Amino acid sequence: MNKTAIHLIIWTFVLIVAQALVFNHVCLFGYAVPFVFLYTLVKLPLTLSKEWLFTIGFFVGLTIDIFSDTLGMNALACTLSVALRQQVIRLYVARDNELTDPYPGIRSLGLYTFIKYTLTFTFVYCCLIFFIDSLSVVGILNAIIRIISSTILTTLLIVGLDSITSRKSEKRL
What would the pLDDT profile of 66-119 be if each residue is shown by its tens digit?
A: 988 888 899 999 999 999 988 888 888 876 556 667 778 888 888 898 899 999
Alpha-carbon torsion (155, 160, 165, 166), positive or negative: positive
pLDDT in tens, 152-167: 999 999 989 888 887 6
Q: Are the C-beta atoms of residues 77 and 132 closer than 8 Å to each other?
A: yes
Q: Are the C-beta atoms of residues 35 and 125 closer than 8 Å to each other?
A: yes
Residue 110 is predicted with a pLDDT of 83
Query: Where does residue 105 rank: exposed (0-12), middle (13-18), buried (19+ CB within 10 A)?
Result: buried
**Lowest-pLDDT range of 14-18, 31-35, 106-110:** 106-110
* Average pLDDT rounded to a whole number, residues 5-29: 86
Residue 149 is predicted with a pLDDT of 92
User: Distance between alpha carbon 169 and the CA centroid of its chain, in Å?
Assistant: 24
- Nearest C-alpha neighbor of 166 from the set 70, 42, 28, 53: 42
pLDDT in tens, 112-134: 988 999 999 999 999 988 888 87
Residue 168 is predicted with a pLDDT of 54
Residue 136 is predicted with a pLDDT of 58
The pTM assigned to this predicted structure is 0.84
